[in-house]
Structure formats: structure tokens, C-alpha cells
């Protein structure tokens, strides 16, 4: 086990210079506005932005409801889009005919800028969360579909040969060889999809909504409250980071063989489980009174 | 392709067309009988009629297309060139890169299109804020890709250049830049698709003119057939852009595709022959 | 141990730049990771002009490391190393390199790849182009002058690399298993071509390989190197006259030499 003390010092040393520079920049910015070097009302003081953030998050706490609404829209939209995309990709990889009939429509969907569908989707699903989820789902569909399909189509001739020689059925080859091999690409597609879903949710909110971080930003912008607007933007950054790293974590856990540290951890866990199972078996043997 | 192969191809295309027309027929019937809600499923014939109207009789789409695509072109050109330029500069400079790294990560996580209302408020309604939005959206992918391309130069090739005594400028011109071209092109293609989305979002918010505003207006007036026609126009444009960028990519990064290799081989051989006036080899 | 010391002494007494020696090393050593890994220890040798010298040994004996040090690509941590009488400080234009990977630039034709070294110094002239095409002809790529690397097989790419090496006009050639990634037949053919070219150009050559037969067949002298730690065990003279037919490898004299080298390697 690594000594946590050393780890903490190491990270502090690495982050410190960045923090110092950042603080210096903020101070410079603050001074520039205060002294009147920058006069545009478009560039607010960092202290005002900070105040807006504090206001939104702590003092009035107004943002939390909106934050989770937008986050929810993105996540649900993503889930719907991902499930449909993965299922379609699965069927496409299993049946060439299915793929041939589906792919022209998928290509059409790909070339059309999904954002163009925003007014339509709002007209169809109304002003509530439904339209945001729908747009998110539509927009994130294609990257996930194409990546999963490419992943499933990957054919390693040596591996196929191995499975055939072991007498594996088509289904076994598919689930034991093709699917695991496709996981890295699938997750790559999902990472793109998740970010895209957030964009979909936010853009739909710009167009028409009553709640969500996008709405907050639009309102603040039109009231020329730049500090508030930037605070909303930073919230979106926070959301983006959360979603991205959440997906990274999932990726690391599921596709564990891509990263050294995780792979070793799984290795150790399986060794431990094996020992535990053997211990139980030995115990059972002993209790049965059998001699070794 | 064998004659059987060609026949199969055409038969398949026939199948696709038949299925498509069959679906359209079903759809049209559904609309006529009132079974399908025209809000969700405007009749195909109505959509065709709308095409005719907006392109020919009324011809209003042309102006809006001209406006939107003009902005896309302007914003894309400026944004992506800026992205490539800065990507190259940052890539070559290690200290700058270290310094910028956290900001790039934060920028990457932010949905860049979300800055649209902010820019509109800051720069006012009108084409200037639209171009700013498009530039912002088009900047990122080329920047990241150029950065990556410049950083990830093949180590063996770097050693080769070093062993030949190449100067830094020579390494940049003869190795780093050509090597990075495929990734940079990939970034440009991404930027192009983002540009189209960018102008649409800007127009949704500003609602003044352009194809995004047109779609918005038609939808608000529940003229779904015309809205569909506009969206299908965008599909066609998207397709043209896709194919266009693919052609440019194949041309610029010629060594990554079969056709490009063949074309360049012939071109270089012919150029050489021209220089020598006949003393050429194969 | 005594035998090695004697060998080294003989080398050193023969040494000195005056005797037409182009490459000279005394106690050359290289360690990595602050002394934790000893790649090469105390190698001393002199290589006269025009000699073809093989470096042979199992992995870990430091042969590639030594080659790269002569090439000026890595710095030595001990000893002195001179090329043409000057201490090695970095890559030199009169020293040409060829590695197991051809490392051609994908976006350049064979002709342009061969001209790459020339471009470092000046804009290639018509004469340069003619020479490059001549070289490509010489290595058997007459019909592939305007082809791109991805259109060529591994063996053909290595031949382009060879032509590029020869274009430098370097009189010292350093090759690290240049044909190692190719099949046996291509390798044999290219080795014979290499010998012919080297004799024609009158270059001093260092050739790294792990194949004892190949090392002896190609060279005038064989530097036998042993691992753990990497060390120059012995410099063996190869007395066979040139040009050498492939059948030489079947003769008892040849095989006796192979056995001797194997013996030196075996005692470690």
C-alpha cells in the first residue's frame, strides 16, 4: 500500500503552482476592473462572479433545483439514447440484413445537425423536461451507435479461430469474445454521448424552458447580469466534469484490463475470493471428518 | 465488380427504394385518413409541396440559407485557423502547455455552445455575436487535435531526424507538420459539424433570420410540413459538407488512402518527367 | 579472464588514430537509472578504415547500446570514444545509420525519402536526384521510385532505407539488425547485397546482430559481447577472403569459427 502521506505531498506540489498562478490572474483581473482599465460591462469582476456563485449555491441556494433538473435531463436523455443505440448496434452486428436496412437511416440521422430538431421536439414534447430529455437522447444516439457497432464488428481472426477450435457456438463467440472486445470503443462512444446529451439538454433549455441551468444562464444574460451568467456557465462546467469523470470511473471499473492499477486490483480481488472459496471447501472437508 | 455483384447492388438499392416508398405510402394514407396527427407526421405530399413553395414559388429559403451558410463559413474559417495556430504554438512550447493544461481540461468539460446567450448579451444581437459563437465552437476540436498531433510525433522518426542533424525548423517543417496533418484534418471535420450547430443555436436565440430562425417560425405557426422541408434541407447540406470534407481530407492527407497514394505517385512521376524532359523512370 | 585482458591489451597497443583507425574506444561504459542498470562496461577497441565489424551477442550484452553511442544518439557514462579522431558529441553527417525499422516518412515517395538527408544540408539539385535514382536502382527498386512506403513490403522499405543511408555519402555505416524483421530468404539476399555495396563504397561498417553465423559471414572482425553486465569479451578475426560465396557457411573452417564464438558466449 502506498504511503498516503507521500501521496498528499506529491499532489500538493504539483497543484500548488497552478493555484498560485490562478490566484494571481484573478487578482490581476479584479484590479484591472476596479481601476477602470477594463470598462466594458461585459467583463465582470471576479469578486462579483464569486458573489453570484455564493448567492446561487449557498445563500439563496436557488441553483440546486435547476442543477439537478438539467443534470437529470442530460442523464435520462443519455440513458434512453444509449440503450436504443446499443440495442440497435447489437442487432446490426448480429444480422447483416438488419444493418443494411437500418444504416441508411442512421447515416441520415448522423448528417443532420441534431440541434436543428430542437423546435420540432419542443413542439412535440412540450415545455417541460420531456423535450429536453428527448433532444438529449436524439443527439447522443449516433456517436454511441457508431462506436458500439464498430467495436462489435472488430474481428480478430486469431481469436475467432481459437473459439472455433474450442467448439464454441455462435452465441458463445459473441458474448465471450466480441462483446468484451467491443467494450473499450463502446465506452469511448458513451463518453462522447454523455457530453453531447448535456449539450442537447442545455440547448433545449435555451429555446424554451422554465427551469434548469440553461434557463438561468439565458435569463441572466438577457438581464445583462454577466456575473450571474458566468456563474451559470461555471455550473455547467461542473456538471460536465461530474458527468465525464463519472463515466471515466465506470469505464475504469468495467473495462478493467485497460489500466495497470485497476487490473492488478481485480487480480488481487480474484485471488482473495479464490482463497476464501478454498478455505470454505477445506473447512467443509474437515467437518466431514475426511482425512487429507 | 462482377456483373452479378453489380446486379445485386442494384437489386438491393431497389429494395431500399421500395421499402422507403412503401413507408411513404403508408404515411400518406395515415395522414389522409386522419389517423396520423399532422403535428407529428405532416403528410409526405405536403412536405413536397412545401419544398416547392420555399424553393421555387416563394423562394424564401434561399436568402436564409445564404445568411446562415455565410456565417458558418466565416466563423469556421476564423475559428479553426485560430485553433490550429494556437494548438501548434502550445504544442511546441512545454511550459505554456503545462500552464494551460488545467484551463484546457475545464474548457473541454464545458459545453461550448452553452456560451451562446452570454456572447449574444455581450456583443449584442446581430451577425457579430453569431460569428463569435461559431468561432468559439469551431476553435476547440482543431486546437486539441493539433496539440495532440504536434505532441505525439513518432519517436523513431524524431530519432531519424536527430541522427541526420536536422535543425528545429527542419524538424518542424519536414516531420512534425506533415505528420500532424491527418489529425488536424480530423479536427477540422469536427469543427465543421459544430459550426452548423452553432449557427442554429444562435438563430434559435436571436430569432431574426437564417435557416434556424425559419424552422423556429414554421414550427411556431404549426406549419410542420415546411419545418420538415427545412430540416431535410439541412440534412442535404450536412451530407454535402460531410462528403466535401471527406474529399478535402483524402486530398490533403493523401498518404492515408489508396486512391490518394496512386494519384500522388502518378503526379510525382509526371512532374519528374516534365522536369527532365523524358529521362524519367516508371 | 586472462585471455580477455590479453586481448584488450593487444587491441590497445595496436590502437591510436595514426594507424588508419576511424573508430576508437577506451573503457566505454553506459549505465542507466543512476548506475542501477549497467548496460555496458569497459569496452575498448579500434576499428581501422574499411573494416566490416560485427557485434554479436545475446540480448543484454550492450551491442545496440554501443552502436548508439558511436552514433552519438546516447551519451556514454564512462570512457572515451572517438570517430575520425574527434570525441563523439552527437550525431555526425559522416556517420550513417540503419535500424531494424526503416522509419520512412509516409507522405514521401521513395525518391523523396532517399533525398531527406541531403535536404538537411542544401536544396537537392538535379545531380542529387539522379544519384538518388541510381541508388534506388542499385538496391533493386527501379520501378518503385515514386511509390509510397505503405505501398512497399518490409523488405522493400528497408532497401529504401539502405539507399537513403548510401545517399549520405557517409564513410562510416552503423547498422542495427537492419534485416532482422524480414524473412530468412530476403535477409540472406540483402546481406549479400550489403556486402557488395559496402565493398564498392569502401565504407567502414559496424553491424549488430544476434546471429553468430551472420556475424561471421559478413565481417572482417567479430566483436563478441556477453551480457550481465554487458562486456566486450573478445575481438575475433575472420580470415576468409572476399568476395565470399554463400557456400562458405557450409565449410568446416567456417563452422569451427562459429563454434569458437559460441564457446566464448557459452562461458557466461
Band (pLDDT 50/70/90 cuts) for residue C268 is low
Nearest residue of B to residue A43, measured between CA atoms: B122
pLDDT score recorded for residue C52: 95
Helix%, strand%, coil% for chain C, nearest 5: 45, 25, 35
What are the extents of the domains in chain C?
A: 2-94+170-266
For C9-37, the pLDDT digits (tens) are 444 444 444 558 899 999 999 988 887 88
Q: pLDDT in tens for each of the 292 residues of chain A? A: 444 455 677 777 777 888 888 888 888 888 888 777 766 667 788 888 888 888 888 777 778 888 999 999 999 999 999 999 999 999 888 888 888 888 888 888 889 998 999 999 998 898 888 999 999 999 999 999 999 999 998 888 888 888 888 778 888 888 888 888 899 999 999 999 999 999 999 999 988 878 889 998 999 888 888 888 888 999 999 999 999 999 999 998 898 888 888 888 888 888 888 888 888 887 777 765 545 4
- Report the percent of chain C where pLDDT is more than 90: 51
The mean-pLDDT minimum among A169-183, B146-160, C161-175, C199-213 falls in: A169-183
* Yes or no, beta carbons of B238 and A118 under 8 Å apart: no
Chain B nearest C-alpha distance from C6 (Å):
35
ipTM: 0.84
Residue C243: CB partners within 8 Å, gap ≥ 6?
C195, C196, C199
Cell of A254: 468495467
Tell which CATH architecture fits domain C2-94+170-266: 3-Layer(aba) Sandwich (3.40)
* pTM recorded for the entire structure: 0.82
Contact by Cβ (8 Å): B101, B95: no
pLDDT score recorded for residue B280: 47
What are the extents of the domains in chain A?
A: 1-39, 50-274
* Yes or no, beta carbons of B281 and C151 under 8 Å apart: no
Q: Which of A113, A200, A240 should we substitute to test contact with B (largest number of B Cβ atoms within 10 Å)?
A: A113
Mean pLDDT, chain C, rounded, equals 87
CA distance A273 to C8: 59
Q: Which residues of C touch B265 (CB under 8 A)?
A: 109, 146-148, 151
Q: What is the mean pLDDT of residues C153-158?
A: 92
For C44-96, the pLDDT digits (tens) are 999 999 999 999 999 888 899 999 999 988 888 889 999 998 999 888 888 99
Bridge partners, C40 (sequence order): C30
Chain C nearest C-alpha distance from B84 (Å):
20
pLDDT score recorded for residue C19: 59
* Yes or no, beta carbons of B282 and C143 under 8 Å apart: yes
Cell of C252: 568446416
Give the pairing type, strands C78-83 and C86-87: antiparallel
The mean-pLDDT minimum among A232-241, A255-264, B78-87, B121-130 falls in: A255-264
Cell of A145: 451507435
Domain A50-274: CATH class, spelled out: mainly alpha
Tell me if chain B has a CB within 8 Å of the CB of A241: yes
- Report the percent of chain C where pLDDT is more than 70: 92
Domains and CATH numbers, chain B: 16-59 (no CATH), 62-252 (1.10.3720.10)
Band (pLDDT 50/70/90 cuts) for residue C2 is very low
| Nearest CB neighbour to B204, from listed A18, A207, A222 | A207
Nearest residue of C to residue B158, measured between CA atoms: C103
DSSP state of B175: I
Cell of C82: 572517438
* Yes or no, beta carbons of B215 and A202 under 8 Å apart: no
Q: Which of C103, C128, C140, C176 should we substitute to test contact with B (largest number of B Cβ atoms within 10 Å)?
A: C103
Question: For residues A281 and B114, which has the higher predicted lDDT (pLDDT)?
Answer: B114
Q: Which residues of C touch B282 (CB under 8 A)?
A: 142-146
Chains touching chain A through at least 3 C-beta pairs below 8 angstroms are B
* Yes or no, beta carbons of C148 and B255 under 8 Å apart: yes
CB atoms within 10 A of CB B99: 14
For B182-213, the pLDDT digits (tens) are 999 999 999 999 999 999 999 999 999 999 99
pLDDT score recorded for residue A1: 44
Amino acid at each position: 500500500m502506498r504511503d498516503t502521506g507521500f501521496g498528499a505531498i506529491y499532489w500538493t506540489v504539483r497543484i500548488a503552482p497552478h493555484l498560485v498562478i490562478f490566484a494571481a490572474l484573478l487578482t490581476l483581473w479584479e484590479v484591472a476592473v476596479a481601476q477602470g482599465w477594463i470598462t466594458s460591462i461585459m467583463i465582470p469582476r471576479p469578486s462579483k462572479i464569486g458573489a453570484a456563485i455564493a448567492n446561487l449555491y449557498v445563500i439563496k441556494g436557488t441553483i440546486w433545483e435547476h442543477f439537478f433538473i438539467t443534470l437529470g435531463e442530460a442523464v435520462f436523455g443519455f440513458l434512453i439514447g444509449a440503450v436504443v443505440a446499443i440495442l440497435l448496434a447489437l442487432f446490426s452486428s448480429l444480422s447483416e440484413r438488419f444493418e443494411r436496412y437500418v444504416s441508411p437511416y442512421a447515416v441520415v440521422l448522423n448528417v443532420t445537425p441534431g440541434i436543428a430538431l430542437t423546435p420540432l421536439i419542443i413542439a412535440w414534447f412540450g415545455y417541460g423536461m420531456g423535450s429536453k430529455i428527448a433532444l438529449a437522447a436524439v443527439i447522443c444516439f449516433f456517436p454511441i451507435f457508431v462506436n458500439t457497432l464498430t467495436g462489435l464488428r472488430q474481428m480478430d481472426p486469431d481469436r475467432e479461430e481459437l473459439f472455433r477450435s474450442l467448439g464454441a457456438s455462435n452465441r458463445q463467440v459473441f458474448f465471450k469474445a466480441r462483446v468484451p472486445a467491443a467494450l473499450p470503443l463502446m465506452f469511448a462512444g458513451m463518453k462522447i454521448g454523455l457530453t453531447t446529451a448535456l449539450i442537447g439538454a442545455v440547448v433545449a433549455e435555451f429555446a424554451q424552458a422554465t427551469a434548469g441551468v440553461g434557463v438561468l444562464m439565458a435569463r441572466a444574460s438577457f438581464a445583462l447580469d454577466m456575473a450571474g451568467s458566468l456563474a451559470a456557465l461555471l455550473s455547467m462546467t461542473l456538471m460536465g466534469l461530474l458527468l465525464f469523470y463519472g463515466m471515466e470511473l465506470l469505464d475504469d471499473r468495467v473495462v478493467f484490463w485497460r489500466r495497470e492499477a485497476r487490473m492488478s486490483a481485480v487480480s488481487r480481488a480474484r485471488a482473495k475470493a479464490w482463497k476464501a472459496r478454498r478455505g470454505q471447501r477445506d473447512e467443509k472437508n474437515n467437518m466431514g471428518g475426511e482425512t487429507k | 465488380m462482377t456483373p452479378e455483384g453489380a446486379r445485386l447492388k442494384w437489386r438491393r438499392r431497389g429494395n431500399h427504394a421500395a421499402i422507403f416508398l412503401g413507408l411513404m405510402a403508408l404515411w400518406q394514407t395515415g395522414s389522409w385518413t386522419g389517423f396520423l396527427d399532422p403535428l407529428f407526421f405532416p403528410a409526405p405530399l405536403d412536405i413536397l409541396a412545401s419544398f416547392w413553395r420555399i424553393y421555387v414559388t416563394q423562394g424564401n429559403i434561399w436568402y436564409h440559407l445564404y445568411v446562415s451558410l455565410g456565417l458558418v463559413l466565416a466563423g469556421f474559417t476564423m475559428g479553426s485557423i485560430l485553433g490550429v495556430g494556437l494548438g501548434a504554438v502550445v504544442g511546441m512550447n512545454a511550459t505554456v502547455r503545462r500552464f494551460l493544461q488545467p484551463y484546457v481540461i475545464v474548457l473541454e468539460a464545458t459545453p461550448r455552445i452553452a456560451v451562446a446567450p452570454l456572447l449574444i448579451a455581450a456583443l449584442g444581437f446581430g451577425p457579430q455575436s453569431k460569428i463569435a459563437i461559431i468561432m468559439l465552437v469551431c476553435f476547440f476540436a482543431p486546437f486539441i487535435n493539433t496539440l495532440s498531433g504536434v505532441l505525439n510525433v513518432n519517436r523513431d522518426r524524431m530519432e531519424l531526424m536527430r541522427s541526420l542533424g536536422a535543425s528545429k525548423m527542419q524538424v518542424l517543417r519536414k516531420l512534425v507538420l506533415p505528420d500532424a496533418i491527418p489529425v488536424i484534418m480530423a479536427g477540422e471535420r469536427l469543427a465543421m459539424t459544430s459550426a452548423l450547430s452553432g449557427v442554429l443555436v444562435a438563430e434559435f436565440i436571436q430569432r431574426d433570420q437564417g435557416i434556424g430562425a425559419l424552422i423556429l417560425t414554421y414550427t411556431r405557426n404549426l406549419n410542420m410540413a415546411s419545418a420538415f422541408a427545412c430540416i431535410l434541407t439541412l440534412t442535404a447540406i450536412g451530407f454535402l459538407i460531410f462528403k466535401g470534407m471527406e474529399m478535402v481530407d483524402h486530398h490533403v492527407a493523401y498518404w492515408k488512402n489508396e486512391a490518394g497514394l496512386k494519384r500522388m505517385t502518378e503526379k510525382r512521376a509526371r512532374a519528374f518527367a516534365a522536369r527532365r524532359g523524358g529521362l524519367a523512370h516508371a | 579472464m586472462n585471455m580477455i585482458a590479453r586481448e584488450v591489451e593487444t587491441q590497445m597497443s595496436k590502437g591510436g588514430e595514426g594507424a588508419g583507425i576511424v573508430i576508437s574506444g577506451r573503457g566505454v561504459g553506459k549505465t542507466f537509472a543512476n548506475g542501477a542498470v549497467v548496460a555496458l562496461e569497459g569496452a575498448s577497441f579500434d576499428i581501422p578504415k574499411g573494416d566490416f565489424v560485427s557485434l554479436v551477442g545475446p540480448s543484454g550484452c550492450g551491442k545496440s547500446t554501443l552502436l548508439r553511442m558511436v552514433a552519438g544518439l546516447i551519451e556514454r557514462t564512462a570512457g572515451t570514444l572517438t570517430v575520425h579522431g574527434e570525441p563523439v558529441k552527437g550525431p555526425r553527417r559522416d556517420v550513417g545509420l540503419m535500424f531494424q525499422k526503416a522509419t520512412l516518412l509516409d507522405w514521401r515517395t521513395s525518391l523523396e525519402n532517399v533525398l531527406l538527408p541531403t535536404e538537411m544540408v542544401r536544396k537537392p539539385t538535379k545531380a542529387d536526384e539522379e544519384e538518388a535514382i541510381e541508388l534506388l536502382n542499385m538496391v533493386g527498386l527501379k520501378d518503385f521510385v515514386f511509390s509510397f512506403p505503405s505501398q512497399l513490403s518490409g523488405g522493400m522499405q528497408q532497401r529504401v532505407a539502405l539507399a537513403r543511408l548510401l545517399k549520405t555519402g557517409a564513410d562510416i555505416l552503423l547498422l542495427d539488425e537492419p534485416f532482422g524483421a524480414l524473412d530468412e530468404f530476403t535477409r540472406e539476399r540483402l546481406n549479400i547485397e550489403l556486402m557488395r555495396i559496402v565493398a564498392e563504397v569502401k565504407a567502414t561498417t559496424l553491424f549488430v546482430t544476434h546471429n553468430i553465423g551472420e556475424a561471421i559471414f559478413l565481417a572482417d572482425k567479430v566483436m563478441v559481447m556477453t551480457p550481465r553486465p554487458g562486456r566486450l569479451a573478445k575481438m575475433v578475426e575472420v580470415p576468409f577472403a572476399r568476395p565470399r560465396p554463400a557456400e562458405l557457411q557450409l565449410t568446416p573452417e567456417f563452422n569451427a569459427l562459429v563454434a569458437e564464438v559460441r564457446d566464448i558466449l557459452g562461458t557466461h
